[in-house]
Chain A
Amino acid sequence: MADEITNPATPEACFGKEAVAAALADHAAIKGLDTLIVDAKWDRKELTLTVAPETIVAAAKAAQAAGYNFLEDVTAVDWYPTEPRFQISYSILSFGLKQRIRLVARIAEGQSIDSITSVWPSANFYEREVFDLFGVHFGGHPRLTRIMMPDNWEGHPLRKDYPVEGYR
């Protein structure tokens, strides 16, 4: 298949689902996730696909079926005070296609997102880390406990409203 990374026909950057789908029509992830994509971004040779938080498990399964077989990372970005506050980023790699995609879901504070440990068991530690440092709840996670901070710690240090020096 055409390699988006070296294909000169691929534009530098495009935003929005229609524009990205038109520019990267052959892309396995865009074909595979088709109906689940809410928004898309092709920027700096990276494909970011936004999906609705309630469809994250379906999106992960669709990505896996499309050949993206390796979950590299799950992390979050706190866009406080913008709403919805948290951006959960899933970095997924395909060993066969030698491509990486980023799935993104935006959730508000207090909102829960489904765990994808049933799709990739490796999400276990990543999601526990996000829960610990951001306070995002992952529904259906088998053991959602703190991983970095002590169990009796108050607050979630990577939130933007948590001071860098901590509370003293």
Chain B
Amino acid sequence: MAFVEDLEKPAVRDTTGATLAGFRNAEDLIIPDVKDVVEESVSGHHPHGSDPVSDRTMVLNMGPQHPSTHGVLRLVLEIDGETVVSLAPDIGYLHTGIEKTCEAKFYQQVVPMTDRIDYLCPMTNNLAYALAVEKLLQLEIPERAQYLRVLFNELTRIQSHLVWLGTHAMDIGALTVFLYCFREREQLLRIFEAVSGQRMMTSYIRVGGLALEPPLDIYKQIRTFLKDFPSKIEEYEGLLNSNPIWMARLKGVGYLSAADAIALGVTGPPLRASGVDFDVRRDMPYSGYEKFQFNVPTSTVGDVWARYIVRMQEFRESVKICLQALDGLPEGRITADAPKIVLPDREQMKTQMESLIHHFKIVTEGFQVPAGEATSSVEAPHGMMNYYVVSDGTAKPYRVHMRNPGFATLQALETMCKGKLLADVVAVIGSIDIVLGEIDR
């Protein structure tokens, strides 16, 4: 494998990723299936030759009910002593057939289901779906709605990263951080509850705009939160950054080169921690992100520690974006001017005949979407999230497909863990921040 190192070195320096075609042998990167792992072990690896005790590997089942697999991920590992020889993820325990269910619903009825895909960032899912359908409808979204979408997306990113930091630290054994993270997360969930009526399954971003005008005092609450939060980030870093156990468990663990990350479809913070400077918000802006100034944190180290540093910096950038959104929040409507698509507000529906008719038609018949296909792409907290919506011209989507970051990132797990210790697998799973809801759908 010595030649691999030589191939990888220039790739790390190439931050555009444009010339990274031609990876090392594609076969090496393909993650095995459970059967392969078991068969390989049974057929007898002889890692040390003559020693009768060490000439067999052991197959270890981890999950689906394992606290550090963040849900129902099952891993089948082949281990030689404590070293991982090969590893296969077994997924599907949370498969609920959301894509199939979407095909039987009206376009507006799909929104609550998108909440449940990646349940740590419902607003991001809502936005990705809304953007895809709006592209099909070619709807203009008012600027105020775009700013609020950005604001709540960044708050969602903070919320999701808080869960990541808390659980990741807990997996490593730092229990205190979890309590602090959930303290701040609670504040955010209360903000989400105030705007949408729901703590987690918000369904706040709808096709054509937003569900409701946020309550007036919410901006003050958000500002208070954003004012305090940077000191909280320092508090977490104070607990972790110079903690010798934290450093020993994270530094140099789970290395992923830029070329491998691209070959395996890794996106989001793990990709940027491997030295590829790509962020959908900056490079292919959506929902008015081009109007915001922020940095995209990257690292060229590519280990679990680099992913930790990148996400901690993203906290700060998200705070910056939220403040810009609050400062620049324009006046105006929060929904597109499309009465046949966007539900009228309650007052109009009760007092105007025409609004009542529109309301009745949308609720009972849905709205028709011109035939075609559209892909939306957003930078979710975990990576790049795409929604692919195909319409046949009726009121129900012909096909809704979600490209979720975790599904692809999971394929890089073996590359990151092979030849490393069993305990490192836990650290690596924490660092790629998987949510099984988005993987299994």
Q: Which residues of A contact B (CB under 8 A)?
A: 43-46, 48, 64-65, 67, 69-73, 75, 77-78, 89, 91, 94-98, 100, 102, 117-122, 124-126, 129, 133, 142-143, 145-150, 157-158, 162, 164
Query: Within 8 Å CB of A126, what residues of B?
Result: 408
Query: Within 8 Å CB of A129, what residues of B?
Result: 407
Minimum CB–CB distance from A85 to chain B (whole Å) comes to: 13
Complex Cα spacing A66 to B384, Å: 22
B123 within 8 Å of A by Cβ? no
Minimum CB–CB distance from A159 to chain B (whole Å) comes to: 10
Interface 1/0 per residue, B212-247 and A, CB below 8 Å:
000000000000000000000000000000000000
B398 within 8 Å of A by Cβ? yes
Query: Within 8 Å CB of A67, what residues of B?
Result: 18
Complex Cα spacing A98 to B281, Å: 11
B401 touches A73 (CB 8 A): yes
B17 touches A148 (CB 8 A): no
Minimum CB–CB distance from A98 to chain B (whole Å) comes to: 5
B60 within 8 Å of A by Cβ? no
Query: Within 8 Å CB of B283, what residues of A?
Result: 95, 98
Query: Within 8 Å CB of B372, what residues of A?
Result: 43-44
Minimum CB–CB distance from A131 to chain B (whole Å) comes to: 12
B388 touches A89 (CB 8 A): yes
B18 touches A97 (CB 8 A): yes
A143 touches B21 (CB 8 A): no
A-B contact pairs, 7 of them (CB 8 A): A75-B401, A95-B16, A117-B30, A120-B26, A133-B99, A145-B35, A157-B97
A72 touches B403 (CB 8 A): yes
Complex Cα spacing A71 to B261, Å: 11
Q: Mark the stretch among B48-56, B190-198, B331-339, B373-381 that contacts chain A.
A: B373-381
B384 touches A44 (CB 8 A): no
- Interface contacts (Cβ under 8 Å), in number, total 127
Complex Cα spacing A133 to B21, Å: 30
B265 within 8 Å of A by Cβ? yes
Query: Within 8 Å CB of B367, what residues of A?
Result: none
Considering the complex, give the chain A residue whose CB is closest to the CB of B384. Answer: A72
Within 8 A of A (CB), among B385-441: 386, 388, 390, 398-399, 401, 403, 407-408, 410-411, 440-441
CB contact between B33 and one of A44, A145, A149 (< 8 Å): that residue:
A145
Minimum CB–CB distance from B410 to chain A (whole Å) comes to: 7
Complex Cα spacing A94 to B284, Å: 11
Also in contact, A46 and B403, with CB within 8 A (given A69-B20, A121-B263, A147-B91): no
Query: Within 8 Å CB of B374, what residues of A?
Result: 44, 46
B265 touches A70 (CB 8 A): yes
A122 touches B411 (CB 8 A): yes
Interface 1/0 per residue, B91-128 and A, CB below 8 Å:
11001010111011000000000000000000000000
CB contact between B411 and one of A77, A98, A125, A150 (< 8 Å): that residue:
A125
Considering the complex, give the chain A residue whose CB is closest to the CB of B263. Answer: A121
Also in contact, A121 and B373, with CB within 8 A (given A148-B92, A164-B100, A164-B103): no
CB contact between B265 and one of A71, A133, A149 (< 8 Å): that residue:
A71
Complex Cα spacing A43 to B375, Å: 11
